[in-house]
Amino acid sequence: MTTTDFLVLPPRPDSTAELLAAAARRRGLAVEQLPGPVVPDRLRHTAGGRGHLYGGPVLAGAVAADLGLGLLEPDDDWLTRLPYAYTRRDITLTTLGEARWSRTPMFVKPPREKHLPAAVYADGSRLPGDERLPADTPVLVSDIVTFLAEYRLFVLDGVVHTASRYAVGGRLDPAPLDACRHREAVLGFASGLLDACADGLPSAVVVDVGLAADADRGEEHWAVVEANMAWFSTSYAADPDRVLDVVLRAAGPGTRVAARDRPFLRPAATM
């Protein structure tokens, strides 16, 4: 039985997992890359809870109980509850079955898990059918927005802990936030957003924001793209050591989850 904190990684770690592993080792944490979705006996139910996780929902579902993890995630409807000033578009949480009835162009994405490609659909008939996803699958449906540049914010205790640009003009283009010309605007928008709305998020979470264009009015404005669980988010060019701070809080021992974060625990039924 291990007596030190450790970070669990999936069988096939991606580049973010590798960066987090190096950061974890630098601070003295053990790193455990699982060969499959089974927790070794020596890691099961460690005294007081020692495990942390970086990996997807399938892995989380297989190992969370045996590791005693408390996994934090934003509410499915968080975007829909934001003031219009922070979204600048109409967003509805509905089901895939309902969205299939739409006959107008729309942007559709899953609230958290990536079982459906986030994309613009010409109408609801273009969405996956029941043979791929059940009608009760939750989805967010919104107006179509053109984002000129998009940024990933790793948020800890209501403050941006580290951040990265990840796209320009809809194409992947990572860069450290400190190297971006919109740095001050990103942080200013994020500060206002988090001051007003951080109580509706876990203390460790990822929020994506972007600079959007309104072609009809010839204007640009900042808006929230989405919120995600930190334990399943690509770091892009953010500082790995500071990303690790957020991941360790977002997916750590259930016994350490603060009272304010308990409403954001991933339900056991989905794990």
* Confidence tier at 2 by pLDDT (50, 70, 90): low
Evaluate if residue 94 carries a pLDDT over 90. yes
Tokens of 140: 């967010």
Is residue 172 within 8 A of residue 166, CB to CB? The reply is yes
Tokens of 255: 């016994």
Q: What is the mean pLDDT of residues 125-130?
A: 86
CA distances, 106 to each of 59, 149, 217 (Å): 31, 20, 20
pLDDT at 47: 53
CA distances, 264 to each of 74, 100, 245 (Å): 6, 29, 18
Round the average pLDDT of the chain to a whole number and report it. Answer: 92
Out of 56-60, 177-181, 199-203, 213-217, which region has the weakest mean confidence (pLDDT)?
A: 213-217
| Amino acid letter, residue 158 | G
pLDDT at 53: 97
DSSP 8-state code for residue 266: P
pLDDT at 116: 84
Residue 8 half-sphere exposure toward CB, CA atoms < 13 A: 30
| Amino acid letter, residue 249 | R
Evaluate if residue 1 carries a pLDDT over 60. no
pLDDT at 4: 83
| pTM, to two decimals | 0.93
pLDDT at 7: 97
Q: What is the mean pLDDT of residues 259-265?
A: 98
Query: How many Cβ atoms from other residues are within 10 Å of residue 263's Cβ?
Result: 10
Mean pLDDT is highest, among 34-38, 201-205, 212-216, for 201-205
pLDDT at 37: 84
Evaluate if residue 271 carries a pLDDT over 60. no
**Angstrom distance (rounded) from CA 29 to CA 244:** 11
pLDDT at 112: 77
Query: How many Cβ atoms from other residues are within 10 Å of residue 86's Cβ?
Result: 16
Q: Environment class of residue 213 by beta-carbon count within 10 Å: exposed (0-12), middle (13-18) or buried (19+)? A: middle
| Amino acid letter, residue 46 | T
Q: For residues 87 and 218, which has the higher predicted lDDT (pLDDT)?
A: 87
Topology of the domain covering 78-84+145-238: D-amino Acid Aminotransferase; Chain A, domain 1 (3.30.470)
pLDDT at 49: 75
Q: What is the mean pLDDT of residues 126-145?
A: 88
